[in-house]
């Protein structure tokens, strides 16, 4: 692993105005998926406005190195779990503990809200992501297909909160 980058994890405040930066981060972090996953990532359909709307419905977390946004994750509260989406780490910071720190904060959030588990989905083709989430304690629970696909395209993974 590369040297850990010093980051602060913070909730996205109501008056946040750097949505273009968050969108650029997500697109850079997800770019390696282009031509690898089918169907293409929903990140391509996002805009600054859709991210702002997402943050109104979900808890958004940022990883900051100084004032630079180097990671983010969005967390949807459901009845018995938290659903993690759009976990992104700047490519130059990957492998330096940023994603782990974001997910540790999600763990803390789940415990504070009395949730039993954290759930996420990852694409079938992204075996490196499967392994990374397994190292964080996630286990595969289901395979599903996007609309119009006969084969599984996503893996649902779940981690019980201790």
Contact between 37 and 56 (Cβ < 8 Å) = no
For the chain, percent helix, then strand, then coil, each to nearest 5?
Answer: 35, 30, 35
pLDDT tens per residue across span 27-71 = 999 999 999 999 999 999 999 999 999 999 999 999 999 999 999
Report residue 134 as tokens.
């397994």
pLDDT tens per residue across span 99-119 = 999 999 999 999 999 999 999
Catalogue the long-range contacts made by 82-87 (C-beta closer than 8 Å, 24 or more residues apart). Answer: 82/106, 82/109, 82/110, 82/113, 82/115, 82/117, 82/118, 82/119, 83/118, 83/119, 83/120, 84/118, 84/119, 84/120, 85/58, 85/120, 85/121, 86/26, 86/43, 86/54, 87/120
Contact between 43 and 86 (Cβ < 8 Å) = yes
What is the topology classification, in CATH, of domain 8-160?
Aminopeptidase (3.40.630)
Residue 2 in this model has a pLDDT that exceeds 60: no
The model's confidence at residue 136, banded by pLDDT at 50, 70 and 90, is very high
Domain chopping of the chain, boundaries: 8-160
CA 126 from chain centre, in angstroms, equals 14
Beta strands in the chain (DSSP E): 8-11, 59-65, 68-77, 81-89, 117-123, 139-144, 154-160
Residue 80 in this model has a pLDDT that exceeds 60: yes
This prediction's pTM: 0.94
């Amino acid at each position: 692993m590369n040297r850990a980058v010093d980051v602060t994890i913070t909730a996205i405040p109501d008056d946040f105005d750097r949505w273009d930066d968050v969108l650029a981060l997500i697109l850079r972090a997800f770019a390696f998926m282009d031509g690898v996953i089918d169907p293409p990532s929903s990140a391509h359909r996002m805009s600054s406005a859709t991210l702002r709307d997402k943050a109104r419905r979900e808890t958004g977390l940022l990883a900051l190195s100084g004032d630079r946004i180097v990671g983010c994750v969005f967390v949807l509260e459901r009845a018995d779990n938290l659903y993690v989406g759009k976990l992104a780490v700047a490519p130059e910071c990957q492998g330096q503990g940023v994603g782990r720190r974001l997910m540790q904060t999600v763990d803390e959030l789940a415990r504070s809200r009395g949730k039993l588990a954290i759930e996420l989905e990852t694409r079938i083709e992204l075996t490196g992501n499967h392994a990374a989430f397994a190292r964080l304690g996630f286990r595969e629970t289901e395979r599903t297909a996007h609309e119009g696909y006969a084969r599984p395209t996503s893996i649902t993974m779940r981690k019980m909160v201790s």
